[in-house]
Each structure stands twice: as structure tokens, then as C-alpha cells.
Amino acid sequence: MSLPYLKKAVAEDDRETLIRYVRLHLGDGDDAAGSKEIDKAWVEALKPLLELPETDRGFIESTLAERDHATLCHLFFYLHLYLVRHSGEWIHDGPF
């Protein structure tokens, strides 16, 4: 899907197209795999927090407050790949 195609989907609030694109992106062209990858990342983010470890809230708060929206969105995609790599189940061909 090209960028103009995706921007048209945004303009028309065509969420199905946008969701499918994210799944295709994260699933390397397979939207079912991408959906599973998204779930995997959330599970991987949840697991360590169940023990209520001390986390760096200051870093989180300052990052959210001081960084621009686009950078945070970009970081979100990086965190997805970080989490799925951390899961030990890496479906992608190349390294992160």
C-alpha cells in the first residue's frame, strides 16, 4: 500500500484499511501474523509488570511531556519490535 493510499484512508477514517496496513507491516506481509505479533507485544509488556517492579516513572513522564508526538509514535513501533524480540519468538527474516 502506498503512502497516498494510506493518507486517503486517514482522510476517510477508513480504520479497517489502516489496521490492515499496520498488521501487514508488523507481520511482514501477512495480516494474520501481524495481528498475532501485536498481541504478542502486549503480552510481553504485561508480563514483567505483574510483579509490580519499581520502574522509572520519571523517565516515562518526562519522555511523554518533552518529546514530540511523532517521535513518541515512532518509539511505539520500536517498542513493538523490542517486545516481540524480547519474547524470543522472532518471525522476521532480519535482525532488529
Residue numbers at the binding site for another protein (CB under 8 A): 1-6, 21-22, 25, 28, 74, 77-78, 80-81, 92-96
Q: E strands of the chain, at which residues?
A: none
From the list 83, 11, 7, 1, the residue with the least C-alpha distance to 40 is 83
* Cβ-based nearer residue to another protein, 61 or 67: 67
Q: From residue 45, give the alpha-carbon distance in Å to each of 13, 36, 73.
A: 29, 14, 17
* Cβ-based nearer residue to another protein, 53 or 95: 95
CB of 24 vs another protein, minimal distance in Å = 10
CB of 52 vs another protein, minimal distance in Å = 29
* Cβ-based nearer residue to another protein, 88 or 95: 95
CB of 40 vs another protein, minimal distance in Å = 15
Nearby residues of 18 by Cβ (< 8 Å), 6 or more positions away: 6, 9, 10
